[in-house]
Structure 1
């Protein structure tokens, strides 16, 4: 049984943090890994970020990715203070696990299936020069978490 997403493999666990530089050192020590470089999200001209269905040109963050296995990343996210799912989470819950992510195909089809399952779209955008896209879904009702869909084109 493939489930709603066509996969059951979690590819990423995302954490919201206040201080990405301190957090990446802590995670690096815990994991026994050299802390990766910190990067910024791409410009809005690439990301075309929407939050709750509305354009969000100011929504951005700092990112760090730890490749802990060939198929699993730990992502650290430091929001920039502008309304986004990242900033909303930090404001409402403080630091902590923000999402679990799945690599999928056919984003629109998967969003529709997830909405039928009781999830709502929080935020969408593009990355990797516009060649890939992400969608955060509020699954707090059915799954008690935020789910992220990742698709590479």
Structure 2
């Protein structure tokens, strides 16, 4: 448990082939997967500049832990692209979720954490940011606002996994 962010809620993987990655997780009994081929990001900034980064994403839960798969769809600048260009596939970030996004973000910034990329999905209560990790190489920290529709969707994903019987393993969204 982080005294700043709370509990880790999501492990995010950057993958080359999201379909193959979902099949891998399905073979371990994790699902169902909710897959958006092209994520509609309201706005996205990378290192202070607007970016046209486009991703596909899929989420599923294993217990209370959400697994996110991200595949780059273009060459728009982002930390995901940096990760791939550095030869990375696999765990790229861990995410903390909050219903008090601005207060947690402000506190993190006051403690010296710098935002490297940020955006919004589904309106003002769908903000997210990834903190710079240059001083501590390794997995990036994401902070995500779940006070709006995104939080409701994440809860539906969690509930779908609770008694999942293996049917309808990939659900397009």
TM-score (norm 1): 0.82
Alignment partner for residue 70 of structure 2, among 77, 86, 91? 77
Whether 1:55 and 2:50 are equivalent positions in the alignment is yes
- Contact kept, 8 Å, 1:16 with 1:76, in 2: the verdict is yes
- Segments of structure 1 that go 5 or more residues without pairing to the other structure are none
Alignment coverage as a number of residue pairs: 145
Q: Distance in 2 between matches of 1:66 and 1:112?
A: 29
Q: Distance in 2 between matches of 1:26 and 1:90?
A: 19
Match of 1:127 in 2: 121
What CA deviation, in whole Å up to 9, does each residue of 1:75-131 have, x standing for no partner? 000012321111111111420111110112443332333234443211111113553
Alignment partner for residue 10 of structure 2, among 1, 9, 12? 12
User: Which segment is superposed worse, 81-90 or 14-23?
Assistant: 81-90
- Segments of structure 2 that go 5 or more residues without pairing to the other structure are 148-173
Q: Distance in 2 between matches of 1:151 and 1:34?
A: 23
Match of 1:38 in 2: 35
Match of 1:149 in 2: 143
Q: Distance in 2 between matches of 1:134 and 1:50?
A: 11
Calculate the aligned-residue CA RMSD, in Å. Answer: 2.3
